[in-house]
Amino acid sequence: MLSARLRELQTKKNNELKKRHEVTRQIERRKPHKCQLCHRQARHGGNLCPACCQQQRSLRSECLVNQGCPYFLRKTRGMFQWHLEFPELAQWTLTALNLTVEPPLKHSRSKRIIIMGWKESTDIHEARSIESMSLILDRVDSVNECPQLKELNLPSQLITPNEVIKLINSFILRHQIMAWNQVAGRRLESPEIQPDLCQSPRCPNSAIVFPYCADCCRKYYRVEVRPSTIHASGLGLFATGTFKSGEYVCDYCYDMVPKRKGCHSKQRADM
């Protein structure tokens, strides 16, 4: 049995070996090399060129399940952050579709869920009819009996998983916009909002009142949007960190009352 001194020396030696190995690995990965998918040179420290990287990101985003807006969703250990609000839809999705789950980002609890195809299939473009899936769906309510599934407007004819994910994401986004309208006390319209998935890479959350979701706004910009403390003033932008006087915060596009005479969209770089 080694003494405490010898164990300390052995641990120190192992740590030094790990550091040297990591330095060597970083040097090798930064050497110029070709993209794994084409003939172009890969990005510095990456395996793909910028064009292939953007293409792969777009393909994965098309099959990514929208996890909703973190501002409204309650904490849950379920796969979907919105499963407490839409339990029938969550159960149907888990039962009918083949899903791949990736761990969440460090600053968010939303898992990345990618639809690979129908249950026991990996073809995202395989067309099936809802009626032909009766054996799969007998464990959940039928589409006609479930209001949430009925609101998806699933066609009775053939439909692909790629089309299903678009309908689910549109459904989640529509309800999130309605929730923000209630918080603002009026109907929010473009260009005030540009509802879509968060623009942060790998983030599966909804972004409604800003190009980034609430979690990413707090992480990268140290701000968040929530009801204004001024009576009947709608929404306000609040700091979640400390800023120095004159420090750049973010670019913010606003249009307080769309279509009102004398009001128009503007861009501000300093808040």
pLDDT at 271 over 70: no
φ, ψ dihedrals at 87, nearest 5°: -65, -35
Peptide bond into 191 cis (omega under 30): yes
* pLDDT at position 110 over 70: yes
Q: Is 44:30 a contact under the CB 8 Å cutoff?
A: yes
205-224 pLDDT, tens digit each: 998 888 888 899 888 888 88
The DSSP call for residue 41 is B
* pTM exceeding 0.75: no
Structure-token pair, residue 32:
């110029």
Q: Is 102 strand, coil or helix?
A: strand
Number of H helices, E strands in the chain: 7, 10
Pairwise pLDDT comparison (265 vs 146), residue with the higher score:
146
Most confident of 16-30, 72-86, 173-187: 173-187
> Which of 195, 197, 198 is closest to 180 using CA atoms?
195
Mean pLDDT of 3-15: 87
Q: Which amino acid is at 52?
A: C
Task: Supply the pLDDT for residue 166.
Answer: 87
pLDDT tens digit string along 138-188?
444 444 556 666 777 776 678 888 888 888 888 999 888 998 888 888 888
Q: Which residue shows structure tokens 């990996």? A: 122
- From residue 129, how far is each of 95, 140, 158, 167 by CA, in Å? 15, 16, 4, 15
The string of pLDDT tens digits covering residues 141-153 is: 444 556 666 777 7
Q: Kindly report which listed range (4-18, 98-112, 131-145, 155-169) carries the lowest average pLDDT score.
A: 131-145
pLDDT value at 253 more than 70? no
Count of CA atoms in the C-beta half-sphere (13 A) of 203: 24
